[in-house]
Every structure is written in C-alpha cells, then in structure tokens.
Structure 1
C-alpha cells in the first residue's frame, strides 16, 4: 500500500524520518544543555519562549499556506533550518562557544517548524483520499516513533561528550532534507490565491482564524483532542514524578540471570521503550485493519483504552501491572491516532486547510499546560484521584468528539 501513496506523501514521510532521527539525538536533551551552560530556571524560561514563538509562527504559517502555497513555505522553512543549524555548529565548535547564540538559532528553528508543519499537514490532506488516510497517518506515525527511538538512544550516549559532532551531522542532514523538499515535493494548492498586501497582514490572518473559530464542529473536535493530549502529557509530568517517588529500589528477578534493582526513572524509561516498541512493531498491521473499517467507533475504543492504561499507571505499584497498562494504552494509541487524524482531515474546510491544521496544533500546547498543572493538584487528590481524573479526560475526549461528529457526518465523509 505504501507504493500506492502519492509521491508527495512518500517524500514527506522520508524527509520527516531523516530530520527526526538526527534531531532526536539533540532536541530532547536541549534542556540539559541550557541547564549546564546557564541555569535550570533560565533554561525553563528559554524553552517556554521557544514553544510560544513556534506556536505563533505556526499560526501565521498556517495562514500563509492557504495563500502562497504549501511547497514555498516548506522549502523556506527547510532553508531557514539549514542556516540555523550552521549557526549552532559554529557557536558550539572547539573555536567558539555561545549558548545565547545557540538559543537564537533555536528560535529560528522554531519559526522554521512553524512554517513547515501546517503546510506539510495541509499538503498531506491535499494529496490523500479518505480511503488511504488512515494508512498514511499510521505509517507517518510509525516512522516518527522509530526515528525518535533511534535518535534518543544514540543521543543519550553521545549528547554530552560529542555535541559538536551531532550538530554537524544535523546540519548535513538539514541540507539533505532541504534538497529533498525542493526536488521531490510538488505544489498542491489548487485554488486561486490572493496576492494583495492585506492578505499577508495580521488583520487578514485574524479574519481567517475568526472563520475557523466559527466552525463549532471543529472547535468541539479540538476540545476532544485537548482532552486526549492532556492524558498523553501525564507521562512526562505526574506519572514520571509519581514513579520516581514510589520506586526507589525495586528488586526485579531475572530468573537465572539474578536480580536487578530499578528506580522510578529507570522504570519510566522501560515503560516508554515498551510503548515505542508497540508502535514500531504493530503500526502497519493495525493500520491495514483500521483502514477497512468505520473510523469513529475505532477512535472511541482507542480513547477508552488509552485513558484506562494511563489511569492504571497513575496508581499501580507492581511492575507487571504497569507493563500491562502500557500495553493497553499502546493499543489505544495505535487505534486513535490514525483515525482521529483521518476524521480531522475530513471535517476541515478545504479552502483553509493550512489554518485549520495550524489551529489544531493548539491541542499539544494546551495539553502540555494541563499536564503541567496536574502536578499542582495531584498531591491534593492523590493517586486514585489522578486515576479518576485521567478517566474523566478520556470520557471528555469521547463525548466532545462524538458531539462534534453527530451532525452531518456522512455528508462530511462524502467530500
């Protein structure tokens, strides 16, 4: 089925894979870099600024994607990344060192990603069909997880001692992906575009997103997405802290190989690895199964399993139960990710795909915020309270998505 996908889709998946396999060796550890070079508190502020800049750039990038086209923005973003990565190499070389210039380069990369992501997402919808979207999103998700797993494993070993070499590899890879984008991606925006000055301004952008905000079906669907993303970000917030506190030295029997002592951080790493392995090993077979069936029921089952798995992780103190819960949430993730994206592609306005996909990015930002805020009230409501909160989020994701899709669903899918 992969060969039957549009060349743009195959190219986009390849480009993302190459970008993330090197990027994952560096960006997951960038907080450590700024903490070591400046301070932990300032590192948090700098990374927060970067997230805000990338979000704002994404909103404007989504607006531009509907005006000047997908490829132009993607190519512009890729070449901005080439410049920024070259800057990071130069200011982390044996001859010159500046964490502040590194941060400026990081902001440029954030702007570049803000241009690339909504244009890329809109392009995928342009060249896909309702019949192959589930498979497309599943394969893309599989490639992203595989590249991240490889990148994080390598980066964990080499980031501290070989940062310059990793940055040099990232610069070379950015040149490759820029060339691939320029040569393999074709323009997919078919509509007649507006070229007058006002269409590029902030007022025009606000009008554009004002129309998006009046699409109440999309807003309700977005709230459902925020709910499920809030569950996802419990992993790096409440659950990580809970495991670190509850597991100081868990003795695990390895049979004839003896015993091993694990702390909470190590257990979290194991659970994350199991989750990633599930995604890598079972994405393709589940994608083929999902593609031939009704998307909505599968998505709701995925939401339910995902929330149940995380709810168990919120209180379980037995490693076997935690592993079982991880398997449950992984299956739920495999079911809901491609189906939610497929349905999202069907309900957005065809003339504003860039804006819709950019606005959809808000689910990650608010999800992160809710995940962080949960650390504040978790000590008050306790483990089982957090478990109930996770189930509630799962129910909200189902309810809001179902209400959003209740009216005119068949008509939307027929587009």
Structure 2
C-alpha cells in the first residue's frame, strides 16, 4: 500500500524546475486570494449594494473581462509571455493594494474591477507559459501539479479570508496583493521556457511546434476542426460546472433554510479535500487514457452527479453528489487542460486560450441565467434534469470528436495505430 502511494507521488519527479516553481507560485497566490471569493459579501455587506445592483456589477465586470482576454491572448502571442505576466501582475497588484487605503464604496469597486481586468489580460500568457515550460509528453503531470497547487493554496486562503473579512478587510487586500507579487518574483527568477532545440527528436510534437505567424487563429481552428468543436464543448461544460456554486447553494438554502449556507460551506471544503487527495491518484491511474477519453469520463461524472440530489435528498447525499462531481472535475481537468496545448502551435497559444476563457465565461453566465429561469418557472428537479441532459449530449459530441481528433492528429495516437 505504501509503495503504491509512493509511486503515485513519484510521478511528479523529473519534471522541469519551472513546473515546480509554478506549483509553489500557485500555492502562494491562492493562499492570499481572498478578494474574489468574498466579492459578493464585500459588495453587499461592506458597500451596501442591493442584490440586483450586485448582479449588474458582476455581469458588467465579466463583460469587461471578455476584451481583456482577447487583448491578453494577442499580446501573449506577440510578445514575451514571461515579461507580460510580470508587467500585468504588477499593475493588478497595485490596484488591489490601493483598495486597502480607500473606504468601501464605488471607488473600491472600480479599483478591484481594474485589478481583475489586468489579471485577465495576463491570464492567457500564464496558461500558455505552463505549456512553454513543459515537454509535450509530461503535460498532464505539469497541469495536474499546477491544479494541485491552486487548490492547496485556495483551501488555506478561504479560511484566512473568512477570518479577515469582518474586521481586517484592508489587510486582506494587502495580503492578496503581496502574495501575488511574491509568486511573480518566483516566476521572474526561476521560470525558464524550454527551447524546441533542447527537446529530443522523439519527444517533439509537430502539431505545437510548427509556426506560421501569417496564419490567423481562426484559420488554424478551421484546419483543426476537432479543436474548434472542443472549444464549443468547453462552453457547455462551463454551464454545467457553474451550477455547483450557483444552483446547489440556492437549493440547499431552500431545503435546509438558515443552515443551508453552513452546510454548503462544509461540502465546499469537502470539494477541496477530494481535489487534493484524488488529483495525484487520478493522474496516476488514468495516465494511459487520451485527453478526450478523460474529458468524456469527467463530464459524465459531474453532469450526472446532479441526479443524486434531484429529489430533495437528505443532507449526507450532498457529500455523495460532491464526491462524484469533484472526481469528474479532476478527471476533466486532466484531459481538457493539456488538450489545447498539444494541438495548437506555440505561436497561437495565447489567442486560443483567450477564446477558451471567453467561452467559459459565456457558459457560466448563460448557465446562471437559464438555471435561474428554470428554477423559478419550474423546479430544481427540472433544472437538474436539464443539466444532466446537457451533459449527456456533450458526452455524445465528444465521443464523435474523439474519432475526428484521431484523424486530424494521428501522431498523437501513434501507439493506437501501431
């Protein structure tokens, strides 16, 4: 048993030094990521906005993030990604820390919205950098390690943020900024991109190494149709995923009244615990599967998990649902994260990643609107059934796309063809 556990964690040995730096940077950043998880509470309890006003502000900020992602994607493909991360992180940190020195109000809202915009401009460069610092065949492990770092930090950060919220909000803004700055310094000093020339011939992947600066990202997507289909799938996957933080807490408040918020907090912590335990395990167990096979399993699990809580279940069943949901979340990440990096030229990674981020935003916001209408017009049972049906349709589409992907990228399935 001990040997199996040792093997599970030894899979992360031998990665590039930069991969470990990004892992630690993710932990540090998310340990101090207090503001965005607390945003709704800050807007309501500290500033005093109404629920309707908060919804308008949330949508407005989200809409501003769309052009920020597009700009970030174009910049990431045109300029040095590491330098972009440094520049926009510093600007974002400046706005965050500035919030500590103003009273809660409209100016504070504008300042942390500006911080979020610059963080989103930096986003595509950071996502592309993870691919830049790793070899094609180790991509799942690198993304797995980065995801693990994100959740380790977030678990600690969420607890600290809740403590600071009531009486030390200014300190929360400062710590948030400083932790981001610390992780940026780690990236400046230690992260090194891998040169294609330094990769052995048998380790290269021609689909991400061929570069044609004159081609537009849309031309590439037209040539690589399976990638375009998958970007559309990501929209509906985000629609489903969003429901655990939107529909589920509302449902729990309906079922358990004043205990609903506390109960949701418990299953949220359980979500983080399952991620931390099962990310290394699933990475190890599913290493022989291709990316889209993992995406099929992941989306199946987290879309069908909503049927477990469909008919007003007892509270313990929410933990069963959350276990299935989180397992699906982990497995989907292991397939979806490296999928694009292996099929898009390095010269276009930033732009394609920005499209994925925009699609995720559209799916998440659209999911809130549609589910809100279904819940009000019909019931939670109907709403959760719709979520599962959407998941079933997506699984069928991905199964078709898997066959198409094998035809377009045969070298990535070389072992299957031999």
Indicate the TM-score class for this superposition, using the shorter chain for normalisation. Answer: 0.7 to 0.9
Shift of 1:361: 0.6
Mapped to 1, the partners of 2:184 and 2:294 lie a distance apart of: 37
Shift of 1:366: 1.7
Q: 1:370 to 1:346 in 2, by over 3 A?
A: same
Shift of 1:295: 3.5
> Is 1:118 matched with 2:124?
yes
Q: Is the 8 A contact 1:20 1:144 kept in 2?
A: yes
Moved more, 106-115 or 117-126: 106-115
> 1:148: which partner in 2?
154
Q: 1:228 to 1:10 in 2, by over 3 A?
A: same
Q: 1:128 to 1:396 in 2, by over 3 A?
A: farther
Q: Is the 8 A contact 2:375 2:383 kept in 1?
A: yes
Give runs of aligned pairs for residues 238-257 of structure 1, distance below 5 A: 238-248=247-257
Query: Given the two structures, how large is their TM-score scaled by the length of structure 2?
Result: 0.84
> 2:42: which partner in 1?
33
| 3-state SS of 2:79 partner | coil
Moved more, 116-125 or 36-45: 36-45
Q: 1:55 to 1:12 in 2, by over 3 A?
A: farther
Q: 1:110 to 1:240 in 2, by over 3 A?
A: same
Q: 1:352 to 1:155 in 2, by over 3 A?
A: same
Q: Is the 8 A contact 1:58 1:114 kept in 2?
A: yes
> Is 1:277 matched with 2:285?
no
Shift of 1:187: 5.0
Query: Given the two structures, how large is their TM-score scaled by the length of structure 1?
Result: 0.84
Q: 1:324 to 1:31 in 2, by over 3 A?
A: closer
Mapped to 2, the partners of 1:187 and 1:127 lie a distance apart of: 4
> 1:258: which partner in 2?
none
> Is 1:366 matched with 2:362?
yes
> Is 1:15 matched with 2:12?
no
> 1:157: which partner in 2?
163
| Residues 72-114 of structure 1 deviation map (CA, whole Å, 9 limit, x = unaligned) | 21111121123212312222xxxxx253332232133223212
> 1:329: which partner in 2?
325
The correspondence for 2:58, drawn from 47, 50, 57, is 47
| TM-align CA RMSD | 2.5
Q: Is the 8 A contact 2:255 2:312 kept in 1?
A: no
| 3-state SS of 1:291 partner | coil
Q: Is the 8 A contact 1:231 1:310 kept in 2?
A: no
The correspondence for 1:138, drawn from 99, 119, 144, is 144
| 3-state SS of 1:248 partner | helix
Shift of 1:213: 5.6
| Residues 118-156 of structure 1 deviation map (CA, whole Å, 9 limit, x = unaligned) | 111112122323422222222222221221121111211
- List runs of 5+ in structure 1 lacking aligned partners: 92-96, 192-204, 250-262
> Is 1:75 matched with 2:86?
yes
> 2:380: which partner in 1?
383
Mapped to 2, the partners of 1:64 and 1:344 lie a distance apart of: 18
> 1:100: which partner in 2?
106
Shift of 1:307: 1.1
| Residues 218-239 of structure 1 deviation map (CA, whole Å, 9 limit, x = unaligned) | 2211222222221111122222
| 3-state SS of 1:159 partner | helix
Q: Is the 8 A contact 1:304 1:332 kept in 2?
A: yes
Mapped to 2, the partners of 1:2 and 1:151 lie a distance apart of: 24
Q: 1:392 to 1:67 in 2, by over 3 A?
A: same
The correspondence for 1:298, drawn from 256, 279, 294, is 294
- List runs of 5+ in structure 2 lacking aligned partners: 1-10, 198-212, 413-418
Q: 1:387 to 1:18 in 2, by over 3 A?
A: same
Give runs of aligned pairs for residues 192-231 of structure 1, distance below 5 A: 208-211=216-219, 214=222, 215-231=224-240
Mapped to 2, the partners of 1:348 and 1:107 lie a distance apart of: 31
Q: Is the 8 A contact 1:66 1:189 kept in 2?
A: no
Mapped to 2, the partners of 1:46 and 1:209 lie a distance apart of: 31
Q: Is the 8 A contact 2:252 2:263 kept in 1?
A: yes
Mapped to 1, the partners of 2:96 and 2:90 lie a distance apart of: 10
Q: 1:134 to 1:157 in 2, by over 3 A?
A: same
Mapped to 2, the partners of 1:174 and 1:388 lie a distance apart of: 40
